[in-house]
Structure 1
Amino acid sequence: MLSRTAENLYWMARYMERAESTARLLTMGQRMAILPGAHHRDEWRSVVRATGAEANFPEDSHVKETDVVAYLMLDLDNPSSIRSCLAKARANGKSARTMLTQDMWEALNEGWRKLDSYDVAEARQQLPGLIDWVKTRSMTFRGAAESGQLRNEGHDFLRAGGALERAQMTLRLLDVKYYVLLPETEVVGGTRDHYQWTSVLHALSGSRAYHHVYGGAYTPWQITDFLMLNRLFPRSVAFCYDQLAYRLNRLSGWHDARATCDDTVQEMVSSLESLDSGEIFRRGLHETVQNGLTMTNRLGLEIAQAYHFG
């Protein structure tokens, strides 16, 4: 397979996953912002901080929902906005059209310019519906790939890109919770703390799965363990790392050569396997999350180098 085609498939999946994950971030921000005192805690700033975009918002100003919707959903100048991601995913798909099924292409192409017709006020007013639309587009695309695409190296590049992006966003969502809670450590275990943690589960569609594992007990360390270490929940960091290891192992087989990224992903898998229940909280949530983000960024660069992405 040409490196250019592999890169298009890999990034197409990343952009679709990023669009959905950003929509989930907006859901989480909206749920946290309705709590009493949210204005004074500036909880929307925690959302932009988790995306790495805080530099675009003046430090001495209050970040409003309007600002975040404009930047993270509609701004074409922001390469990680939902609108930008959908446009880039379609462009990547167009360049790799022969590797896609008809259903995959239709999922990318249908309504991709929908957000062009919205201004910030309209998008904010219809935010829940737009978030559901973005999530549906992404899930339709993944379903089309799952049901119809050949299980060749193109599929492995696609799934590797999606898994890497998903791991990053689960880590970023946990970082939102860390930043929101940081100034008020005395509220740990309180009503607002409980609501914030369950908001993380809700944003990742993990509430029911968590309940199956832990029953009705919602504690910060159990939620953290579930989202970081559970190998059966498809949005946990451990599940994503396992998927990355599997896909990169298949790709090394297709190309009959191992690369640095193969060793790095094994290191990532092993690092989570070595953690016991509750250990992430004892070590420090923020430190664990930041290390995970550093490793996923490193792995992304190594994949690009190994397969000669431009």
Structure 2
Amino acid sequence: MLSRTAENLFWMARYMERAEATARLLTMGQRMTILPGAHHRDEWRSVVRAAGCEGQFPAGTPVTESDVVSYLMLDPDNPSSIRSCLLKARANAKSARTMLTQDMWESLNEGWRKLDSYELADARQQLPALIDWVKTRVMTFRGAADAGQLRNAGHDFLRAGGALERAQMTLRLLDVKYYVLLPETEVIGGNRDHYQWTSVLYALSGVRAYHHVYGGTYTPWQITDFLMLNRLFPRSVAFCADQLAYRLNRLAGWHDSRGACHDTIQEMIGVVEGLDSGEIFRQGLHETVQMGLKMTNRLGFEIAQTYYFG
């Protein structure tokens, strides 16, 4: 497979996953802002921190819903906005058209300019519907790939890109909750704390899955364990790491060679296997999350080096 085609497939999946993850971040922000005192805690700033773009908003100035919807959903100049991600995913798809099924292409092509026509006021008014539209587009694309794409190297690059992006967003959502949204340790365990932790589960569509594992009790330790270490939940860091290892091992077989990325993913799995929820909190959730983000960033760079992305 040409390295350019592999890169297009890898980043197509990353952009689609990022669009959905950003939509989920907006949902989480909305849930957080209905709590008492949310305005004084500047909850929307936590959302832009999770998206890695706090530098776009002046320090000391409250970040509003309008600011976030404009920048994270509609802004064509923000390379990580939902609008930009969907446009880039489609551009990658055009460059790798022969590797996609008709259903995959249609899921990317249908309504691809939808967000171009929205003014900020309309987007805010219809935000829940727009978020659902984004999630449906991404899930349709994912389902089309699962149902019809050949299980060749192209499929492995696609799945590896999606798993890497998903692991990063789960880590960022955990960082929002513990490090950004709740610096006041004296309210840990209170009603607001409980609501914020369950909001993380809602943002990752993990409430019912969590309930099957832990029943009706919600604690920070159990939720962290579930989202970091549960190997059965498809948005957990451990599950994503396992998927990355599987896809990279297959790619090593297709190409009859291995690179630094293969060592890094094994290191990442070893780190995850060495943790438990108590250990995560002893080390500090923020510190553990930052370590995970650095490792996934390194992994993405090494995948690009190993397979000669441009």
Whether the 8 Å CA contact 1:222–1:278 is kept in 2: the answer is no
**TM-score scaled to structure 1, two decimals?**
0.99
Match of 1:100 in 2: 100
Match of 1:84 in 2: 84
Whether the 8 Å CA contact 2:46–2:181 is kept in 1: the answer is no
Match of 2:67 in 1: 67
Alpha-carbon distance in 1 for matches of 2:33, 2:268? 34
Match of 2:146 in 1: 146
**Are 1:248 and 2:248 counterparts?**
yes
Match of 1:158 in 2: 158
Match of 1:119 in 2: 119
Assess, with a 3 A threshold, how the Cα gap between structure 1 residues 196 and 182 changes in structure 2: closer, same or farther. closer
Match of 2:207 in 1: 207
User: Structure 1 stretches (4+) deviating beyond 3 angstroms?
Assistant: 179-182
Whether the 8 Å CA contact 2:224–2:277 is kept in 1: the answer is no
- More divergent stretch after superposition (21-30 vs 172-181): 172-181
Superposed CA deviations along residues 268-306 of structure 1, whole A, max 9, x for unmatched, are: 011001112422112110000000000000000000000
Match of 1:283 in 2: 283
Alpha-carbon distance in 1 for matches of 2:231, 2:195? 25
Whether the 8 Å CA contact 1:33–1:43 is kept in 2: the answer is yes
Shift of 1:63: 0.2
Match of 2:171 in 1: 171
Match of 1:297 in 2: 297
**Are 1:191 and 2:191 counterparts?**
yes
**TM-score scaled to structure 2, two decimals?**
0.99
Whether the 8 Å CA contact 1:241–1:268 is kept in 2: the answer is yes
Alpha-carbon distance in 1 for matches of 2:80, 2:149? 27
Match of 1:23 in 2: 23
Whether the 8 Å CA contact 1:163–1:241 is kept in 2: the answer is yes
Q: How many residues align?
A: 310
Whether the 8 Å CA contact 2:19–2:85 is kept in 1: the answer is yes
Whether the 8 Å CA contact 1:46–1:179 is kept in 2: the answer is no
Shift of 1:182: 3.8
The letter of the residue matching 1:266 is Q
Assess, with a 3 A threshold, how the Cα gap between structure 1 residues 178 and 277 changes in structure 2: closer, same or farther. closer
Match of 1:271 in 2: 271
% identical equivalent positions: 84
The letter of the residue matching 1:102 is Q
Helix, strand or coil at the partner of 2:275: coil
Helix, strand or coil at the partner of 1:278: helix
Q: CA RMSD in A?
A: 0.7
Match of 1:225 in 2: 225
Superposed CA deviations along residues 51-109 of structure 1, whole A, max 9, x for unmatched, are: 11011000021000000000000001000000000000000000000000000000000
Helix, strand or coil at the partner of 2:205: coil
Alpha-carbon distance in 2 for matches of 1:201, 1:25? 11
- More divergent stretch after superposition (174-183 vs 155-164): 174-183
Whether the 8 Å CA contact 1:18–1:165 is kept in 2: the answer is yes
Shift of 1:176: 1.0
